[in-house]
Amino acid sequence: MNIEWLGHSCFKLTESTGTTIVADPFEKSIVGYEMNRTDADVVTCSHQHKDHNAVVNVQGEPQVLSECGFWEIKGVDVSSMLSYHDDKAGKKRGENRIFKFRMDGVELCHMGDVGEECTVHLAEGIGTVNVLMIPVGGNYTIDAKQAKEYVDFIMPDIVIPMHFKTPKSQVDIDKLDEFLDLFEQEQICEIDGQSMEVDRACCGGDSTKVIVFKDDVF
């Protein structure tokens, strides 16, 4: 399967069968740069903020998922669970949905704008994860240290940081460096461009690999 980072917290996931999912599409007026229009069979929105629910940027007639539930769509298993956008049980910024996908035998988890600290209850609800997409920029979400706590608890094979400050971003969040500094250098893997292929052979290593996309288009 292919994982393509479209900027901010948005990813396009493509199974070998051709089934495609876009997670958390965003609006330029909030993030500060344009999201390239794309197509998909499914769009997931972790919550209804404009930097995560710009479904208009996804062409075709995708099925939009934004609530908690379980689905099987064109051979892909999708599930979502409730979490909060803040550390006050949603009183500041509301609810957030954590989505999981099973594609080509790989378990992927997109954390959305999770803002609450990692707990046993939440981590056990997420379950086994091969690829974890997690916010690290703080302010509106968990910060780098809190994200590392999730990584240590869930122990994914691969972690892809998202929702951090980039050169073109206008969002008041931290840069990626603070998160990367919490890992050993040999755990960090730089990828040329904005996409990577993942299969079961990439999983099961001795330690979590942190993926950094080197292309600075964002």
Q: Where in the chain are the domains?
A: 2-213
- For CA atoms 96, 8, 198, 187, the dihedral sign is negative
CA quadruple 172, 161, 176, 2: dihedral, nearest 10: -110
Sorted by sequence, the CB contacts under 8 Å of residue 83 that are 6+ apart come out as 95, 96, 97, 98, 111, 112, 114, 116, 122
Cβ count near 64 (within 10 Å): 15
State residue 41's pLDDT score: 97
Which CATH number is correct for 2-213, 3.60.15.10, 3.20.20.140, 3.40.50.1780, 3.40.50.300? 3.60.15.10
The pLDDT tens digits for 14-60 are 999 999 999 999 999 999 999 988 999 999 999 999 999 999 999 99
Task: Look up the pTM and report it.
Answer: 0.96
3-state secondary structure of 69: strand
CA pair distance 211, 163, nearest whole angstrom:
14
pLDDT value at position 161? Answer: 98
